[in-house]
Structure 1
Amino acid sequence: MRAFRAGLLSTCLVAVMCPPVAADPDGPSSREVERARQTVRERSHDLSRTTAELVTAQSRLNELAAAVERLVEAYNGEVVRLRQAEQAHAQAQVRLAAAAVEVERARQDAALLATESYGGLGSLKPFMGMIVDRGGTDGFLHRAGVLGHLRDERAAFLRRVRDAQEVETILRTQAEWAHAAQQEASERARQAKLAAEAAVARQRRDTRELVARKDSLERQVDAARTRAELLARQRAAATAGLVAGGSAMGDLAANWALTQLGKPYVWAAAGPQTYDCSGLTMRAWERAGVGLDHWTGTQWTSGPHVPLDQLRRGDLLFFGHITSDPATIHHVGIYVGRGQMVHAPQTGDVVRVASIWRGDLVGATRPR
Structure 2
Amino acid sequence: MSGTLLRLACTAAVAAQAVLAPVPAAAEPAPRHTVSQLLTGLQQLYRQAEAATETYNATAEKLERQRAEVTRLEAELARSRVALQGSRADAGRLAREQYRTSSGLGTYVRVLLAPDPQHALDEGHVIGELARERARTVHRLTAAEQRRDALARAARAALDTQLTLAGRQQKQRDEVLTRLADVDRLLAGLTPDQLATIAALERQAVTAAQQRLTTAGALPTARPASPAGDRAVRYAMEQLGKPYAWGAQGPGSYDCSGLTSEAWEHAGTPIPRTSQEQWRRLRKVPLNELRPGDLVVYFPDATHVAMYVGDGRVVQAPRPGEDVKVSPLASYPVLGAVRPDQAPATEAR
TM-score between the two structures when normalised by the length of structure 1:
0.38
Q: Which is higher, the Rg of structure 1 or of structure 2?
A: 1
TM-score between the two structures when normalised by the length of structure 2:
0.40
Structure with the largest fraction of helix: 1
